[in-house]
Amino acid sequence: MGTGELWEYEVGTMIKLSNRLKLLASYVPQESIVADIGTDHGYLPVYLVLKGICPRAVAADINQGPLEAARSNILEHKASGLIELRLGNGLEVLQPGEVETIIIAGMGGGTIRDILTASPEVAGTVKRLILQPMADEMELRQYLLKSGWTLREEDLLLEDGRLYVVMVAERGHERVENPVLLELGPRLVEKKHPLLGLFIAKRKEKYHKILAGLAQSTLPEAREKAVGIRKKLQEIEGVEACL
């Protein structure tokens, strides 16, 4: 994901970090101990410790292959003393209170939600979640707000023609009743994020494609589904009109 750019942290030593990963890094509080769950290549924890943003980090993945890729990157960039590698599922690799910030990026919103749900004792002791779902943002927002998190910040990034959504959650209480805000992102709508128009255009395109498919069917369920989608489109257009 992302073509990336070279980031120089020492004369002659380079690491590739995409703008997406850089954006995620920008939401990590200075001096916080971080866990990158589903780290894959391990670029993000390497950047965070070598930049001096984090004193140490946990880089975890459920699969051995990605963890080995992270190991070799960590070794190459001489960050072994600062990053601990852990093989395992989601937050099961962490002890409660062990880290202050958790990053989960590049997975579906449902998978991220399942990872958080499976380890309430770990998630409950974390100060900040930095999440970058590849899909199902609405479901993830719904879960966060129901589970004692507030959306501190949201961001959008366009890289290689793809729009990425970033959510920063902290402990707190927030109610968002309006489903269209849950779909588009309450913080993105509030600040009229410059990429929200593009996000809405892509979402509308997706719904129009679904409507075209449903129009081929004579089943009553298809008609009912189409009514729901038209209503969503109307609500989205209502937000669009205010941008």
Ligand X SMILES: C[S@@+](CC[C@H](N)C(=O)[O-])C[C@H]1O[C@@H](n2cnc3c(N)ncnc32)[C@H](O)[C@@H]1O
Binding site for ligand X (CB under 6 A): 1, 37-40, 60-63, 66, 89-90, 105-107, 111, 115
CB of 89 to ligand X, least distance (A): 5
* CB closer to ligand X out of 105 and 165: 105
CA distance 208 to 15: 41
CB of 7 to ligand X, least distance (A): 15
Of 63, 56, 60, 61, which is closest to residue 80 (Cα–Cα)? 56
CB of 1 to ligand X, least distance (A): 6
Q: What distance lies between CA 228 and its chain's CA centroid?
A: 27
- Count the helices and strands in the chain (H runs, E runs): 10, 9
CA distance 161 to 122: 35
- Cβ atoms of 171 and 188 within 8 Å: the answer is no
* CB closer to ligand X out of 107 and 140: 107
* CB closer to ligand X out of 37 and 85: 37
CB of 33 to ligand X, least distance (A): 18
Q: Identify any residues that bridge with 166 across adjacent strands, giving them in sequence order.
A: 155
* CB closer to ligand X out of 59 and 181: 59
